[in-house]
Structure formats: C-alpha cells, structure tokens
Structure 1
Amino acid sequence: MVISVAVVDPLPMFCQGVVAALAGSGHRVDVPDDVLAWSHRRDRSLILLTLDVEPAWSILRRLRAETPRHVVLALIEGDQPLQGAKAVQAGAQSVLPRAMNAAMLRRTIDATSDGLCVLPASVMTLLAATDVTSGHIASGHVSDMVGPRLPPPTQLSWLRQLAAGSTVSRLAGQIGYSERAMFRQLRGLYQQMGVSGRTEAILRAQEFGWLTPDGDG
C-alpha cells in the first residue's frame, strides 16, 4: 500500500535519510516547509514529526485540533518514557526513538497507517501508570524509573505552586524575594533536578509524584 508521508525534522540530512529509507517501499514522501499548510491540502496521510522543541509540540497539538484525519508518528530523543507518553496524550498515534533503523521505521509506518498504535515498552508502561485525565502518575510508580532526590518542603511548595499556574512574580511576592532572586533560586532547584527550565521541572515533579499531597514522603 502506498502511503503519503510528511517528514518534519530540524536536520535536512535526517530528512534525506528518511526519504531514502521510504522511497524503496514506494511511499510518497514530502518534506514540507510548513506542515500545517501541507496537512490542510492533503487527504489522510501520515506525518513523521520529531518532538525536539516547543514549536514541534505546538504543531502536534494543532494537527490534532485542525486536521485530525492525519495520523502522527512522533519521534523522541533516546529512551524518554515521559516524552513519549506526553506525545500520545497530545495526539500522536505511535512513538519511536529518533535513532531507529530504517527497517523499524518502515514497519512502524505500515502498522500506524493500518490503524495500529506502536509504542516503546517504556512508554506503554508509563501510560499504564498514568491518570490520563489529570496527567498525574498514579501512586504505583514505574519500578525502573529512578528519580532525583526529593527537594526540601519549601522548594517542593514552589514546584506545586508553579504547576498550579502561579507566576514567578507572584511566588516571589509571597516569599518576600525580589523577582530576580526568585529566578535565581529556581534556577538552582532546576539544576539540582537535572532539568533546564520550569516546564521540564514540573513534568519531572509530576513524573515522580511530587505534585500530589502525599508526594513529599
């Protein structure tokens, strides 16, 4: 069966490799500059989307909302179960590590186009432990996920307030810090958690159950 595929990735050489890998299977492959515009002009197709930065996640959400007839196969870097689970919740039908080989890519595209959901085992395990409606990990944590050290109660409170929608400015005012000092304190917390920013910190805290009332013990 010939499948129409769009490839969305920041590296042209990666896109060229995917095109070469799929060309032998007879699939029609495009590398559109604007995949959203492309999706509006096409009948049901498969979109291979690398989720590397926030704009890519925005594209995934918009594809789900604006052109749900298309199916999305999300590519994530390495073994990141939380990113894979998040991709499924955002609208991806299947998930693959970006470093997959050509044979795996072809098999997954064929299966996904046939209506199947293909996921790494680690992503399936995490989804099984996740309350999909709230986005929180259930009380039974995934056994093979080892988290960072639990932050002190004060910093845990900061994370919970940020997750609930508080701004850094509001948080600083409650604590009595300047906004600049608050940013500095949060940067230190993010470094301790091994993350690069607020969103990733909240996701990590959510992953390990720290955002629930019983998550501090």
Structure 2
Amino acid sequence: MVVRVAVVDPLPVFQQGVSGILAGAGYVVEMPVDVVAWVRRAKVSIVLLTLLSEEDWDVLDRLCGTLGSQVVIAVLEGDPAASGARAVRLGARSVLPRSTTVDALRQTVEATIGGQAVMPAAVAAVLAAGSHTDTQSPLSAEQLSWLRDLARGTTVARLASRAGYSERAMFRLLRALYQQMGVNGRLQAVIRAQELHWL
C-alpha cells in the first residue's frame, strides 16, 4: 500500500526541503495548494501541516474534524507546548517543531504512519496535566495586562497612553502579540486568552 504524503507550508523553500527529504526516504510526496481537496482524493495519506496562522488552524480542524480521521503531523514554530497540545486536541496525531532535524522528521513520519503518536515531551506534559498547565501563559505580565485591558474594552490609544508608548508603537506591539498567539486580531486574541484561562 502506497502512503501519499502532503507537505503544506507557506515557505516554498521549507516545503521543497521537507518534500525532498521525504522523497529521498522513499515516500510519494506532493505539495498540494488545496490540501483538503487533496485528502479527499488520496485515500491513504498523511499531511505535514505547518500551523502559523488562524487559517492554518482552520485547515487542521477541517482535516481532522470535518473530513474524518486524517493522519496529520502538526509542524509548529517556536515553543510547541501549548500550541502542540491544541493541535493534538483538534486531532493531529503527532507534533514536530519546525526547527526539527532531518532524522527526527523521518522518524516521526515513519512512526506516525505506523500508528504511533510522536510529540515533544513538553506537549505530552501539557496534555497530561490538562487545564492546570494550560493556564500557564508564555506571554509576559505586560502582554497579559494588555489583553485584560482589551477584554474590558479599552481602546488602543488609551492602552498606549497607560503603557507609555505611542499609538503607532502600541499597534505594532499588539500585532506582534497576536502573531505570537497565532491569531489575527484583538477579538481572537481575547477569546483565545479566555479559552486558555489566561485572563
């Protein structure tokens, strides 16, 4: 039985590099533009899905929830603990940091195809601890304070004034915070922080 592997990442060089590594290991690898449509056609498949934006999380949800039990390896940037646990809860079978080694990539794909779940120990610890560990935020105290103020309806101008930044600088800092949280804006950031019991 041939297992087809899809590699989905916004960075073409990364996507081609991973594809080359897996093709060299004997896998049939593709880089579909529409991975959901690809999964519908490729019955025996595995997807390496990089999760950087909220749209990527929506794709993961569709792959694992709507389409049934697809085998997905979530590829994450930075510290994968909380976001890795989120990916597993949505249905990803394995989790890899985007900075993984070639050997770890091959071993994870092989083990995942074999029915095992592979993830960093930090992800397993978050999952094992349940909501208790989820309350530990990777954000700074200042960032959490900004989120609390935003949740109360504070304007960015007022937040900037309180924090001692210009309004323009505050917008830049909030944009970086939203990116760090993997969300697209204020509302999503507040909702995510509440879901994770950070507020």
What range is the shorter-chain TM-score in? Answer: 0.7 to 0.9
What is the CA–CA distance in structure 2 between the aligned matches of 1:82 and 1:185, rounded to whole Å? 30
Q: Indicate yes or no: 2:42 matched with 1:42.
A: yes
| Aligned residue runs from structure 1 range 76-91, under 5 A | 76-91=76-91
Secondary structure of 1:26 counterpart: coil
Greater per-residue helix proportion: 2
| Aligned residue runs from structure 1 range 185-204, under 5 A | 185=158, 191=173, 195-196=177-178, 197-198=185-186, 199-204=188-193
Unaligned runs of 5+ in 1: 131-136, 160-170, 173-180, 212-217
> TM-score w.r.t. structure 2 length?
0.76
- Indicate the structure (1 or 2) with the bigger Cα radius of gyration: 1
Unaligned runs of 5+ in 2: 164-169, 179-184
1:3/1:155 CA distance change after superposition, 3 Å: closer
Aligned to 1:138: 132
Structure number with higher relative contact order (C-alpha < 8 Å, ≥ 6 residues apart): 2
1:185/1:118 CA distance change after superposition, 3 Å: farther
> TM-score w.r.t. structure 1 length?
0.70
What is the CA–CA distance in structure 2 between the aligned matches of 1:30 and 1:182, rounded to whole Å? 46
Aligned-residue CA RMSD (Å) = 3.1
Percent identical across equivalent pairs? 39
CA contact (8 A) 1:73 1:96 kept: yes
Secondary structure of 2:155 counterpart: helix
| Aligned residue runs from structure 1 range 19-168, under 5 A | 19-130=19-130, 137-138=131-132, 148-149=140-141, 156=148, 159=151
Q: Which amino acid aligns with 2:87?
A: A
Secondary structure of 1:138 counterpart: helix
How far residue 15 of structure 1 moved from its aligned partner, in angstroms, is 1.3
> Which of 167, 174, 182 matches 2:155?
182
How far residue 79 of structure 1 moved from its aligned partner, in angstroms, is 1.6
1:80/1:200 CA distance change after superposition, 3 Å: farther
CA contact (8 A) 2:126 2:133 kept: no
| CA deviation string 1:98-134 (max 9, x = no partner) | 111111111101111111111111111111222xxxx
